[in-house]
Structure 1
Amino acid sequence: MREHPYVLHDTQVEQQATSKVLRNTYALLALTLGFSGLVAFAAQQAQVPHPGILLTLVGFYGLFFLTVKLRNSGWGLLSTFALTGFMGYTLGPILNRYLALSNGADLIVSAFAMTAIVFGGLSAYVLTTRKNMSFLSGFITVGFFVLLGAMLAAWLFEISGLQLAISAGFVLFSSAAILWQTSEIIHGGERNYVMATISLYVSIYNLFLSLLQILGIMGSDD
Protein backbone atom coordinates (compact mmCIF):
# COMPACT_ATOMS: atom_id res chain seq x y z
CA MET A 1 0.00 0.00 0.00
CA ARG A 2 2.88 2.36 0.68
CA GLU A 3 4.03 2.05 -2.93
CA HIS A 4 0.88 3.76 -4.20
CA PRO A 5 2.06 7.37 -3.63
CA TYR A 6 5.26 6.66 -5.53
CA VAL A 7 3.37 5.13 -8.45
CA LEU A 8 1.07 8.14 -8.48
CA HIS A 9 4.05 10.47 -8.38
CA ASP A 10 5.70 8.68 -11.32
CA THR A 11 2.46 8.93 -13.29
CA GLN A 12 2.22 12.66 -12.60
CA VAL A 13 5.84 13.17 -13.67
CA GLU A 14 5.17 11.26 -16.89
CA GLN A 15 2.06 13.31 -17.61
CA GLN A 16 3.95 16.55 -16.98
CA ALA A 17 6.75 15.44 -19.31
CA THR A 18 4.22 14.54 -22.01
CA SER A 19 2.42 17.87 -21.65
CA LYS A 20 5.72 19.74 -21.91
CA VAL A 21 6.76 17.94 -25.09
CA LEU A 22 3.30 18.50 -26.56
CA ARG A 23 3.33 22.23 -25.76
CA ASN A 24 6.85 22.72 -27.07
CA THR A 25 6.12 20.74 -30.21
CA TYR A 26 3.01 22.69 -31.18
CA ALA A 27 4.64 26.00 -30.28
CA LEU A 28 7.68 25.25 -32.44
CA LEU A 29 5.47 23.84 -35.19
CA ALA A 30 3.44 27.05 -35.30
CA LEU A 31 6.63 29.14 -35.50
CA THR A 32 8.20 27.00 -38.22
CA LEU A 33 5.00 26.94 -40.28
CA GLY A 34 4.77 30.72 -40.01
CA PHE A 35 8.43 31.16 -40.93
CA SER A 36 8.13 28.70 -43.81
CA GLY A 37 5.06 30.55 -45.06
CA LEU A 38 6.90 33.87 -45.02
CA VAL A 39 9.84 32.41 -46.94
CA ALA A 40 7.43 30.83 -49.45
CA PHE A 41 5.68 34.17 -49.93
CA ALA A 42 9.01 35.96 -50.42
CA ALA A 43 10.17 33.34 -52.93
CA GLN A 44 6.84 33.56 -54.75
CA GLN A 45 6.97 37.35 -54.93
CA ALA A 46 10.60 37.32 -56.08
CA GLN A 47 9.75 34.81 -58.82
CA VAL A 48 12.73 32.64 -57.87
CA PRO A 49 13.23 29.46 -59.91
CA HIS A 50 12.68 26.05 -58.38
CA PRO A 51 16.02 24.52 -57.27
CA GLY A 52 15.18 21.22 -58.96
CA ILE A 53 14.53 17.79 -57.53
CA LEU A 54 18.20 16.91 -56.97
CA LEU A 55 19.09 20.07 -55.06
CA THR A 56 15.82 19.85 -53.14
CA LEU A 57 16.61 16.32 -51.97
CA VAL A 58 20.20 17.21 -51.08
CA GLY A 59 19.11 20.32 -49.19
CA PHE A 60 16.30 18.57 -47.35
CA TYR A 61 18.20 15.46 -46.27
CA GLY A 62 21.35 17.43 -45.49
CA LEU A 63 19.47 19.80 -43.18
CA PHE A 64 17.37 16.93 -41.81
CA PHE A 65 20.37 14.87 -40.72
CA LEU A 66 22.04 18.01 -39.36
CA THR A 67 18.94 18.65 -37.23
CA VAL A 68 18.93 15.04 -36.02
CA LYS A 69 22.55 15.43 -34.95
CA LEU A 70 21.89 18.74 -33.16
CA ARG A 71 18.42 17.88 -31.79
CA ASN A 72 19.50 17.95 -28.15
CA SER A 73 21.16 21.38 -28.30
CA GLY A 74 20.11 24.93 -29.00
CA TRP A 75 21.64 24.61 -32.45
CA GLY A 76 18.90 22.09 -33.21
CA LEU A 77 16.37 24.92 -33.16
CA LEU A 78 18.45 26.91 -35.65
CA SER A 79 18.76 23.95 -38.01
CA THR A 80 15.01 23.32 -37.67
CA PHE A 81 14.27 26.82 -38.94
CA ALA A 82 16.90 26.37 -41.66
CA LEU A 83 15.19 23.16 -42.79
CA THR A 84 11.66 24.54 -42.74
CA GLY A 85 12.80 27.79 -44.34
CA PHE A 86 14.42 25.84 -47.16
CA MET A 87 11.22 23.87 -47.71
CA GLY A 88 9.31 27.15 -47.77
CA TYR A 89 11.73 28.39 -50.43
CA THR A 90 10.98 25.33 -52.60
CA LEU A 91 7.27 25.97 -52.15
CA GLY A 92 7.35 29.50 -53.60
CA PRO A 93 8.01 28.50 -57.26
CA ILE A 94 5.39 25.74 -57.01
CA LEU A 95 2.79 28.26 -55.88
CA ASN A 96 3.70 30.47 -58.84
CA ARG A 97 2.96 27.61 -61.24
CA TYR A 98 -0.52 27.25 -59.79
CA LEU A 99 -1.10 31.00 -59.63
CA ALA A 100 -0.52 31.07 -63.39
CA LEU A 101 -3.73 29.04 -63.78
CA SER A 102 -7.07 30.81 -64.06
CA ASN A 103 -8.30 29.21 -60.82
CA GLY A 104 -4.87 28.87 -59.21
CA ALA A 105 -5.58 31.11 -56.21
CA ASP A 106 -8.76 29.17 -55.42
CA LEU A 107 -6.87 25.88 -55.64
CA ILE A 108 -4.20 27.09 -53.20
CA VAL A 109 -6.75 28.41 -50.71
CA SER A 110 -8.76 25.18 -50.94
CA ALA A 111 -5.67 23.01 -50.43
CA PHE A 112 -4.60 25.14 -47.46
CA ALA A 113 -8.05 24.92 -45.85
CA MET A 114 -8.25 21.16 -46.41
CA THR A 115 -4.76 20.68 -44.94
CA ALA A 116 -5.71 22.66 -41.83
CA ILE A 117 -8.93 20.68 -41.41
CA VAL A 118 -7.24 17.31 -41.88
CA PHE A 119 -4.35 18.11 -39.54
CA GLY A 120 -6.63 19.63 -36.89
CA GLY A 121 -9.11 16.76 -37.10
CA LEU A 122 -6.50 13.99 -36.91
CA SER A 123 -4.61 15.67 -34.07
CA ALA A 124 -7.80 16.31 -32.11
CA TYR A 125 -8.87 12.69 -32.58
CA VAL A 126 -5.66 11.29 -31.11
CA LEU A 127 -5.47 13.88 -28.32
CA THR A 128 -9.08 13.30 -27.20
CA THR A 129 -9.26 9.52 -27.57
CA ARG A 130 -5.59 8.96 -26.59
CA LYS A 131 -5.54 5.86 -28.77
CA ASN A 132 -2.19 4.22 -29.35
CA MET A 133 -1.38 4.42 -33.05
CA SER A 134 1.90 2.53 -32.89
CA PHE A 135 0.43 -0.12 -35.21
CA LEU A 136 0.70 2.44 -38.03
CA SER A 137 4.51 2.30 -38.00
CA GLY A 138 4.50 -0.75 -40.28
CA PHE A 139 2.08 0.90 -42.70
CA ILE A 140 4.22 4.04 -42.80
CA THR A 141 7.38 2.04 -43.53
CA VAL A 142 5.75 0.03 -46.30
CA GLY A 143 4.01 3.12 -47.66
CA PHE A 144 7.31 4.98 -47.92
CA PHE A 145 8.85 2.33 -50.18
CA VAL A 146 5.66 1.90 -52.23
CA LEU A 147 5.49 5.65 -52.88
CA LEU A 148 9.21 5.73 -53.66
CA GLY A 149 8.73 3.00 -56.26
CA ALA A 150 5.67 4.74 -57.71
CA MET A 151 7.57 8.03 -58.06
CA LEU A 152 10.40 6.22 -59.82
CA ALA A 153 7.90 4.61 -62.19
CA ALA A 154 6.28 8.00 -62.87
CA TRP A 155 9.71 9.44 -63.70
CA LEU A 156 10.62 6.60 -66.07
CA PHE A 157 7.28 5.88 -67.72
CA GLU A 158 4.21 7.75 -68.91
CA ILE A 159 1.38 6.01 -67.04
CA SER A 160 -2.04 7.60 -67.16
CA GLY A 161 -3.44 8.45 -63.74
CA LEU A 162 -0.26 7.46 -61.88
CA GLN A 163 0.47 10.99 -60.67
CA LEU A 164 -3.03 11.28 -59.24
CA ALA A 165 -2.60 7.92 -57.50
CA ILE A 166 0.75 9.01 -56.04
CA SER A 167 -0.77 12.23 -54.69
CA ALA A 168 -3.66 10.28 -53.14
CA GLY A 169 -1.13 7.87 -51.64
CA PHE A 170 0.79 10.77 -50.11
CA VAL A 171 -2.42 12.10 -48.55
CA LEU A 172 -2.97 8.73 -46.83
CA PHE A 173 0.72 8.42 -45.92
CA SER A 174 0.89 11.92 -44.43
CA SER A 175 -2.36 11.42 -42.51
CA ALA A 176 -1.07 8.18 -41.02
CA ALA A 177 2.21 9.89 -40.08
CA ILE A 178 0.32 12.67 -38.27
CA LEU A 179 -1.71 10.12 -36.30
CA TRP A 180 1.38 8.08 -35.46
CA GLN A 181 3.60 11.02 -34.43
CA THR A 182 0.91 12.59 -32.25
CA SER A 183 0.34 9.23 -30.58
CA GLU A 184 4.07 8.83 -30.01
CA ILE A 185 4.17 12.14 -28.16
CA ILE A 186 1.25 11.48 -25.82
CA HIS A 187 2.31 7.89 -25.09
CA GLY A 188 5.94 8.70 -24.33
CA GLY A 189 7.48 7.30 -27.50
CA GLU A 190 8.83 10.71 -28.53
CA ARG A 191 10.46 12.95 -25.95
CA ASN A 192 12.34 15.31 -28.28
CA TYR A 193 10.11 18.14 -29.44
CA VAL A 194 12.50 19.14 -32.23
CA MET A 195 12.15 15.74 -33.91
CA ALA A 196 8.40 15.69 -33.28
CA THR A 197 8.10 19.12 -34.89
CA ILE A 198 10.05 18.10 -37.99
CA SER A 199 7.98 14.95 -38.40
CA LEU A 200 4.70 16.86 -38.21
CA TYR A 201 5.99 19.68 -40.43
CA VAL A 202 7.04 17.30 -43.21
CA SER A 203 3.67 15.54 -43.01
CA ILE A 204 1.81 18.86 -43.28
CA TYR A 205 4.05 19.98 -46.16
CA ASN A 206 3.47 16.76 -48.11
CA LEU A 207 -0.23 16.80 -47.30
CA PHE A 208 -0.62 20.34 -48.63
CA LEU A 209 1.31 19.68 -51.84
CA SER A 210 -0.56 16.42 -52.47
CA LEU A 211 -3.96 18.01 -51.97
CA LEU A 212 -2.93 20.92 -54.19
CA GLN A 213 -1.84 18.53 -56.90
CA ILE A 214 -5.06 16.52 -56.66
CA LEU A 215 -7.17 19.66 -56.89
CA GLY A 216 -5.04 20.89 -59.81
CA ILE A 217 -5.47 17.62 -61.72
CA MET A 218 -9.18 17.40 -61.04
CA GLY A 219 -9.69 21.07 -61.94
CA SER A 220 -7.66 20.88 -65.14
CA ASP A 221 -9.40 21.34 -68.47
CA ASP A 222 -7.03 18.92 -70.20
Structure 2
Amino acid sequence: MANSSWQVSQDTASRSLSTHKVLRNTYMMLALTLLFSALTAGVAMSMGVGRMNIFVLLIGAYGLMFLVHKTANSTAGIFATFAFTGFMGFTIGPVLNAYMSLPNGAQLVMTALGMTGITFAGLSAVALVTRKDFSFLSNFLFAGAIVLILAMLAAMIFNISGLALAVSAGFVLFASAAILFETSQIIHGGQTNYLLATVSLYVSIYNMFISLLALLGFASSDD
Protein backbone atom coordinates (compact mmCIF):
# COMPACT_ATOMS: atom_id res chain seq x y z
CA MET A 1 0.00 0.00 0.00
CA ALA A 2 2.82 2.36 0.92
CA ASN A 3 4.65 1.54 -2.30
CA SER A 4 1.48 2.21 -4.28
CA SER A 5 1.01 5.61 -2.64
CA TRP A 6 4.64 6.47 -3.25
CA GLN A 7 4.28 5.52 -6.92
CA VAL A 8 1.18 7.70 -7.29
CA SER A 9 3.02 10.58 -5.64
CA GLN A 10 5.98 10.13 -7.99
CA ASP A 11 3.71 10.03 -11.05
CA THR A 12 1.94 13.20 -9.93
CA ALA A 13 5.23 14.98 -9.36
CA SER A 14 6.52 13.83 -12.75
CA ARG A 15 3.39 15.11 -14.52
CA SER A 16 3.66 18.40 -12.67
CA LEU A 17 7.29 18.87 -13.72
CA SER A 18 6.43 17.97 -17.32
CA THR A 19 3.57 20.48 -17.34
CA HIS A 20 5.76 23.25 -15.94
CA LYS A 21 8.41 22.49 -18.55
CA VAL A 22 5.92 22.70 -21.44
CA LEU A 23 4.43 25.89 -20.00
CA ARG A 24 7.86 27.51 -19.52
CA ASN A 25 9.07 26.53 -22.98
CA THR A 26 5.83 27.69 -24.57
CA TYR A 27 5.95 31.17 -23.06
CA MET A 28 9.66 31.50 -23.82
CA MET A 29 9.12 30.48 -27.46
CA LEU A 30 6.06 32.70 -27.70
CA ALA A 31 8.04 35.72 -26.53
CA LEU A 32 10.81 35.02 -29.05
CA THR A 33 8.42 34.51 -31.96
CA LEU A 34 6.50 37.69 -31.11
CA LEU A 35 9.76 39.65 -31.14
CA PHE A 36 10.72 38.03 -34.45
CA SER A 37 7.30 38.92 -35.86
CA ALA A 38 7.77 42.52 -34.77
CA LEU A 39 11.11 42.51 -36.60
CA THR A 40 9.66 41.11 -39.85
CA ALA A 41 6.72 43.53 -39.60
CA GLY A 42 9.21 46.38 -39.28
CA VAL A 43 11.08 45.12 -42.35
CA ALA A 44 7.86 45.00 -44.36
CA MET A 45 6.96 48.53 -43.22
CA SER A 46 10.37 49.93 -44.14
CA MET A 47 10.20 48.26 -47.56
CA GLY A 48 6.74 49.70 -48.19
CA VAL A 49 5.34 46.28 -49.08
CA GLY A 50 1.73 46.35 -50.29
CA ARG A 51 -1.05 44.22 -48.85
CA MET A 52 -0.57 40.57 -49.69
CA ASN A 53 -3.03 38.80 -51.96
CA ILE A 54 -5.50 36.89 -49.78
CA PHE A 55 -4.81 33.60 -51.55
CA VAL A 56 -1.03 33.98 -51.19
CA LEU A 57 -1.57 34.82 -47.52
CA LEU A 58 -3.75 31.76 -46.91
CA ILE A 59 -1.47 29.39 -48.82
CA GLY A 60 1.62 30.73 -47.03
CA ALA A 61 0.03 30.70 -43.58
CA TYR A 62 -1.58 27.27 -43.78
CA GLY A 63 1.36 25.77 -45.64
CA LEU A 64 3.82 26.87 -42.97
CA MET A 65 1.41 25.86 -40.20
CA PHE A 66 1.22 22.40 -41.75
CA LEU A 67 5.01 22.31 -41.80
CA VAL A 68 5.12 23.15 -38.08
CA HIS A 69 2.75 20.27 -37.32
CA LYS A 70 4.80 17.85 -39.43
CA THR A 71 8.10 18.81 -37.76
CA ALA A 72 6.88 19.63 -34.24
CA ASN A 73 8.73 16.71 -32.68
CA SER A 74 12.10 17.57 -34.19
CA THR A 75 14.60 20.42 -34.19
CA ALA A 76 13.32 21.43 -37.62
CA GLY A 77 10.07 22.36 -35.88
CA ILE A 78 11.78 25.31 -34.24
CA PHE A 79 12.83 26.72 -37.61
CA ALA A 80 9.36 26.03 -39.02
CA THR A 81 7.79 27.90 -36.10
CA PHE A 82 9.99 30.94 -36.69
CA ALA A 83 9.27 30.75 -40.44
CA PHE A 84 5.53 30.73 -39.79
CA THR A 85 5.53 33.54 -37.23
CA GLY A 86 8.00 35.57 -39.28
CA PHE A 87 5.77 35.25 -42.33
CA MET A 88 2.70 36.29 -40.32
CA GLY A 89 4.60 39.26 -38.92
CA PHE A 90 5.60 40.28 -42.44
CA THR A 91 1.93 40.29 -43.48
CA ILE A 92 1.12 42.74 -40.66
CA GLY A 93 3.59 45.33 -42.00
CA PRO A 94 1.36 46.64 -44.81
CA VAL A 95 -1.63 46.76 -42.42
CA LEU A 96 0.35 48.81 -39.91
CA ASN A 97 1.55 51.16 -42.65
CA ALA A 98 -2.06 51.77 -43.67
CA TYR A 99 -3.07 52.63 -40.12
CA MET A 100 0.04 54.69 -39.44
CA SER A 101 -0.88 56.92 -42.37
CA LEU A 102 -4.01 58.02 -40.49
CA PRO A 103 -3.89 61.16 -38.28
CA ASN A 104 -4.31 59.07 -35.11
CA GLY A 105 -2.78 55.91 -36.56
CA ALA A 106 0.04 55.53 -34.04
CA GLN A 107 -2.44 55.84 -31.17
CA LEU A 108 -4.73 53.22 -32.73
CA VAL A 109 -1.87 50.75 -33.18
CA MET A 110 -0.54 51.22 -29.64
CA THR A 111 -4.04 50.97 -28.16
CA ALA A 112 -4.73 47.73 -30.04
CA LEU A 113 -1.33 46.38 -28.99
CA GLY A 114 -1.92 47.31 -25.35
CA MET A 115 -5.42 45.83 -25.30
CA THR A 116 -4.13 42.61 -26.85
CA GLY A 117 -1.34 42.29 -24.30
CA ILE A 118 -3.60 43.01 -21.32
CA THR A 119 -6.29 40.61 -22.55
CA PHE A 120 -3.78 37.82 -23.17
CA ALA A 121 -2.19 38.30 -19.74
CA GLY A 122 -5.59 38.40 -18.04
CA LEU A 123 -6.95 35.29 -19.74
CA SER A 124 -3.71 33.38 -19.16
CA ALA A 125 -3.84 34.36 -15.47
CA VAL A 126 -7.42 33.11 -15.19
CA ALA A 127 -6.46 29.71 -16.62
CA LEU A 128 -3.25 29.45 -14.58
CA VAL A 129 -4.64 30.63 -11.25
CA THR A 130 -8.03 28.90 -11.30
CA ARG A 131 -6.65 25.79 -13.07
CA LYS A 132 -10.14 25.31 -14.48
CA ASP A 133 -10.50 22.83 -17.30
CA PHE A 134 -11.66 24.76 -20.37
CA SER A 135 -11.72 21.73 -22.66
CA PHE A 136 -15.48 22.21 -23.00
CA LEU A 137 -14.67 25.13 -25.33
CA SER A 138 -13.43 22.76 -28.06
CA ASN A 139 -16.86 22.39 -29.70
CA PHE A 140 -17.42 26.15 -29.54
CA LEU A 141 -14.05 26.78 -31.19
CA PHE A 142 -14.73 24.26 -33.96
CA ALA A 143 -18.15 25.69 -34.77
CA GLY A 144 -16.94 29.27 -34.31
CA ALA A 145 -14.07 28.79 -36.76
CA ILE A 146 -16.45 27.56 -39.48
CA VAL A 147 -18.94 30.39 -38.92
CA LEU A 148 -16.23 33.07 -38.87
CA ILE A 149 -14.52 31.82 -42.03
CA LEU A 150 -17.82 31.71 -43.92
CA ALA A 151 -18.81 35.15 -42.63
CA MET A 152 -15.39 36.56 -43.54
CA LEU A 153 -15.68 35.21 -47.09
CA ALA A 154 -19.20 36.62 -47.42
CA ALA A 155 -18.03 40.04 -46.19
CA MET A 156 -15.20 40.02 -48.74
CA ILE A 157 -17.30 38.83 -51.69
CA PHE A 158 -20.29 41.10 -51.09
CA ASN A 159 -18.30 43.97 -49.52
CA ILE A 160 -20.56 44.23 -46.45
CA SER A 161 -18.85 46.58 -43.97
CA GLY A 162 -21.27 45.75 -41.15
CA LEU A 163 -20.59 42.03 -41.52
CA ALA A 164 -16.84 42.67 -41.62
CA LEU A 165 -17.16 44.56 -38.32
CA ALA A 166 -19.13 41.68 -36.80
CA VAL A 167 -16.46 39.24 -37.98
CA SER A 168 -13.75 41.33 -36.27
CA ALA A 169 -15.73 41.30 -33.02
CA GLY A 170 -16.27 37.56 -33.42
CA PHE A 171 -12.56 36.95 -33.89
CA VAL A 172 -11.81 38.81 -30.64
CA LEU A 173 -14.17 36.47 -28.75
CA PHE A 174 -12.86 33.44 -30.64
CA ALA A 175 -9.24 34.33 -29.87
CA SER A 176 -10.09 34.85 -26.19
CA ALA A 177 -11.71 31.41 -25.97
CA ALA A 178 -8.75 29.86 -27.81
CA ILE A 179 -6.28 31.33 -25.32
CA LEU A 180 -8.25 29.91 -22.39
CA PHE A 181 -8.55 26.54 -24.11
CA GLU A 182 -4.89 26.20 -25.12
CA THR A 183 -3.54 27.33 -21.75
CA SER A 184 -5.88 24.90 -20.01
CA GLN A 185 -4.71 22.12 -22.32
CA ILE A 186 -1.11 22.73 -21.28
CA ILE A 187 -1.95 22.84 -17.58
CA HIS A 188 -3.99 19.62 -17.66
CA GLY A 189 -1.63 17.68 -19.90
CA GLY A 190 -3.75 17.81 -23.05
CA GLN A 191 -0.96 19.61 -24.92
CA THR A 192 2.58 18.34 -24.40
CA ASN A 193 4.31 19.89 -27.43
CA TYR A 194 5.45 23.42 -26.73
CA LEU A 195 5.87 24.31 -30.42
CA LEU A 196 2.25 23.45 -31.23
CA ALA A 197 1.13 25.33 -28.11
CA THR A 198 3.22 28.34 -29.16
CA VAL A 199 1.70 28.44 -32.65
CA SER A 200 -1.81 28.11 -31.26
CA LEU A 201 -1.34 31.00 -28.81
CA TYR A 202 0.47 33.07 -31.43
CA VAL A 203 -2.42 32.74 -33.89
CA SER A 204 -4.85 33.79 -31.17
CA ILE A 205 -2.77 36.87 -30.36
CA TYR A 206 -2.39 37.69 -34.07
CA ASN A 207 -6.15 37.44 -34.69
CA MET A 208 -6.98 39.45 -31.60
CA PHE A 209 -4.57 42.27 -32.49
CA ILE A 210 -5.73 42.54 -36.10
CA SER A 211 -9.40 42.40 -35.06
CA LEU A 212 -9.03 44.99 -32.32
CA LEU A 213 -7.16 47.25 -34.73
CA ALA A 214 -10.04 46.96 -37.21
CA LEU A 215 -12.63 47.69 -34.52
CA LEU A 216 -10.72 50.69 -33.20
CA GLY A 217 -10.19 51.99 -36.72
CA PHE A 218 -13.91 51.72 -37.44
CA ALA A 219 -14.81 53.47 -34.19
CA SER A 220 -12.27 56.20 -34.91
CA SER A 221 -13.68 56.79 -38.40
CA ASP A 222 -17.11 57.39 -36.90
CA ASP A 223 -15.85 60.06 -34.51
By how many angstroms is 1:56 displaced? 0.5
- Runs of 4+ in structure 1 off by over 3 angstroms are none
Q: Which residue of 2 aligns with 1:170?
A: 171
Q: Does 1:45 align with 2:32?
A: no
Q: CA RMSD in A?
A: 1.0
- In the TM superposition, 1:106-125 aligns within 5 A as 106-125=107-126
CA distance in 1, matches of 2:208, 2:146: 17
Write out per-residue CA displacement over residues 83-126 of structure 1, whole angstroms, 9 at most, x where no aligned residue: 00000110000000001111111000000000000000000010
- Report whether the alignment pairs 1:79 with 2:62: no
* TM-score relative to the length of structure 1: 0.98
For 1:28, the aligned partner's letter is: M
Q: CA deviation at 1:221?
A: 4.2
* Residue 183 of structure 2: aligned partner: 182
Letter in 2 for 1:102: P
Q: Evaluate the alpha carbon distance shift between residue 160 and residue 198 of structure 1 in structure 2; reply closer, same or farther with a 3 A threshold.
A: closer
Aligned to 2:138: 137
Q: Give unmatched runs, 5+ long, in structure 2.
A: none
- 1:51: how far off? 2.1
Structure 2-normalised TM-score? 0.97
1:209 corresponds in structure 2 to 210
Letter of the 1:133 partner, please give it: F
State the distance in 1 between where 2:182 and 2:71 align: 20
* 1:160 Cα deviation after fit: 4.7
- 1:30 paired with 2:19, answer no
Residue matched to 1:95 = 96
- For 1:45 and 1:110, the matched residues in 2 are separated by 22
Distance in 1, Cα, partners of 2:161 & 2:39: 36
SS in 2 for 1:219: helix
Amino acid at match of 1:70: T
Q: Map Cα deviations across residues 195-221 of structure 1 (whole Å, 9 max, x no partner).
A: 000000000000000000000001004
2: CA distance between counterparts of 1:152 and 1:50? 17
Runs of 5+ in structure 1 lacking a partner? Answer: none
Distance 1:88 1:160, change over 3 A: closer
Deviations 1:49-107 (A, max 9, x none): 22211100010011110110000000000010000000011000000000111111100
